[in-house]
Structure 1
Amino acid sequence: MAKTYVTAVIMAKDGCEAALEKELRKVIPEVRAEAGCLRYDLHRSGYGNTFLFYEIWESPAHLEAHGRSAHMAAMREATADLQACPTEVNLWDAVDAA
């Protein structure tokens, strides 16, 4: 199966940046321990209100399992009122530049 590359962009409501970052950080160790997780990194924009998860999964099936995990459901619930808009999730294909 092909690796699955993902970006997830999360924007904080004004004044909720620190609380949102705290909740997003909580899930990182659990996700990194999931079967099939090759990379799960959190980034914050220079403006401070937008966060980006960059993810690499061994397969689409591993990504699907990740989305159904209890810790992701808890994170979605904990961050719902902190977000300015819905999370933007994109799947990517690697481009062989060789």
Structure 2
Amino acid sequence: MAEVRVIARAVAREDKADELKALLSGLVVPTRAEAGCVYDDLFESNLPGIFVFNELWQSQAHLDAHAASSHFKQIFGKADQILAEPLEVNLLTAVG
């Protein structure tokens, strides 16, 4: 199975950065414990209110299971109310 690399970007609504940071931070530990998660790191940009997940999954099936997990659905159910735009998810393929 091919590994799947993910870069996901979340942008907070004005004055909601701290709330989004706390919410997204709560996703890291349970995600790291999931089957197939090689790593899952959350970063805060130097630009206000922007957060980036850097993830590596053993397979697409593992990533799909993550997206269907109860903790993912719970967090992003709440995050939708404080995101300035939809979550941007990029699946990456190495080219060199």
TM-score (norm 1): 0.95
Q: Hey, what does 2:88 align to over in structure 1? A: 88
The one-letter amino acid of 2:38's match is L
In the TM superposition, what is the alpha-carbon distance from 1:48 to its structure 2 partner? 2.4
Q: Hey, what does 1:13 align to over in structure 2? A: 13
Unmatched segments (≥5 aa) in structure 2: none
1:77 aligns with 2:77: yes
The one-letter amino acid of 1:72's match is F
The one-letter amino acid of 1:50's match is I
1:67 aligns with 2:67: yes
In the TM superposition, what whole-angstrom CA distance separates every residue of 1:11-65 from its partner, at most 9, and x where no partner exists? 0000000000000001110000000000100011102211100100000000000
Percent of matched pairs sharing the same residue: 38
Q: Hey, what does 2:31 align to over in structure 1? A: 31
Distance 1:64 1:87 in 2: 16
The one-letter amino acid of 1:65's match is A
Q: CA RMSD in A?
A: 0.8
Distance 2:54 2:47 in 1: 18
- Structure 1 residue runs of 4 or more that deviate by more than 4 Å after TM superposition: none
Distance 2:39 2:48 in 1: 22
Instruction: Indicate the SS of the match to 2:85.
Output: coil
